[in-house]
């Protein structure tokens, strides 16, 4: 008698264990169809608050709500069965106190079934990260460029170009590592510093605009596919160029509708002849 054992979804502990073993693969995901296509190929999917800019046309991630993150997190969970799913906690939903962070994170985990949450912040958020991890909520940290702080940092730019920035990012990464995060995203940080931090922390680093020496990489899926064309950061590579194909399909559809060549007989329901 054979017993079928269902394959389990990767967990934060599995991601952490990959440090030193092989590079970790991650992409953002926001919808069920994309999650289905992505699931066999990535270690973890990040339901990033980047969806505010990519899907909703916001100028920054600051306007994203918990409800938006939950809705898209549920969609990604429905479309995946292999990858670990991590959901961003949006701006204003966790910074006030560690208790607020726990309430938000617990709600996100309960309502989506995801495996972990991500929050931005360095030394100032270490106590919160420790508080969450001690209470059963795995946390993906995020240091370097922090998009949620765009209103105080003065724009999107690479960091680590002066001694003050270098020392801050070093301390931030060390603090989040010690606080118990299972991995740390390093964003928009000069290559030598990201490489150094990767060698110094115990947990995996996930680079985005950082270093090939990071333990893994993450990109926004719409950037990878060449769909999001508002701007292209230096660290982005278009692995496909879907935007022109989509535009051509829309144009062809419009032409055929206007010419009444679509729908054709094969696209309609006919009465059966008696």
pLDDT the model gives residue 236:
87
Residues 55-70 as b or e (16 or more Cβ within 10 Å = b)? eeeeebbbebebebbb
DSSP state of 189: B
| Rounded Cα–Cα distance for residues 152 and 67 (Å) | 25
Residue 111 annotated in active site:
no
Instruction: Determine which one of 67, 124, 187, 191 is catalytic.
Output: 187
Q: Is 271 helix (H, G, I), strand (E, B) or coil?
A: coil
Strand-pairing partners, residue 84, are 44
The pTM of the full predicted model, rounded to 2 decimals, is 0.93
Q: Which fold has domain 12-242?
A: TIM Barrel (3.20.20)
49 is in an annotated binding site: yes
Q: Are 157 and 223 in contact (CB under 8 A)?
A: no
pLDDT tens profile 108-151 = 999 999 999 999 999 999 999 999 999 999 999 999 998 877 65
Q: Are 241 and 218 in contact (CB under 8 A)?
A: no
Q: Which has the closest alpha carbon to 175: 215, 132, 208, 143?
A: 143
Structure tokens at 21: 């073993």
Mean pLDDT, the chain, as a whole number? Answer: 93
232 is in an annotated binding site: no
Q: What's the average model confidence in pLDDT over 241-270?
A: 96
Q: Are 139 and 118 in contact (CB under 8 A)?
A: yes
pLDDT the model gives residue 6:
59
pLDDT the model gives residue 221:
97
**Has residue 1 got a pLDDT over 50?**
no
Delimit the domains of the chain by residue range: 12-242
222 is in an annotated binding site: no
């Amino acid at each position: 008698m054979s017993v079928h054992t269902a394959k389990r979804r990767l967990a934060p502990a599995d991601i952490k264990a990959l440090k030193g073993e092989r590079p970790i693969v991650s992409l953002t995901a926001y919808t069920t169809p994309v999650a289905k296509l992505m699931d066999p190929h990535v270690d973890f999917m990040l339901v990033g608050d980047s969806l505010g800019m990519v899907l909703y046309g916001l100028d920054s991630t600051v306007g994203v709500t918990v409800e938006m993150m939950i809705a898209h997190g549920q969609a990604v969970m429905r479309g995946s069965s292999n990858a670990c799913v991590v959901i961003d906690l949006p701006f204003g939903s966790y910074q006030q106190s560690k208790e607020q962070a726990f309430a938000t994170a617990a709600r996100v985990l309960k309502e989506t079934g995801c495996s972990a949450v991500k929050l931005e912040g360095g030394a100032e958020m270490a106590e919160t990260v420790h508080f969450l991890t001690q209470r059963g909520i795995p946390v993906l940290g995020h240091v370097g460029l922090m998009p949620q702080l765009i209103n105080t940092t003065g724009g999107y730019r690479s960091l680590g170009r002066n001694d003050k920035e270098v020392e801050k990012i070093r301390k931030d990464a060390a603090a989040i590592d010690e606080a118990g995060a299972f991995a740390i995203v390093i964003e928009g940080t000069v290559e030598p510093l990201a490489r150094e931090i990767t060698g110094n922390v115990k947990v995996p680093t996930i680079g985005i605009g950082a270093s090939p020496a990071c333990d893994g990489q993450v990109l926004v899926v719409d950037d990878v596919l060449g769909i999001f064309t508002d701007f292209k950061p230096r660290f982005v590579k278009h692995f496909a160029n879907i935007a022109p194909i989509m535009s051509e399909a829309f144009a062809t559809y419009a032409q055929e509708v206007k010419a009444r060549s679509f729908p054709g007989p094969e696209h309609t329901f006919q009465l059966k002849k008696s």
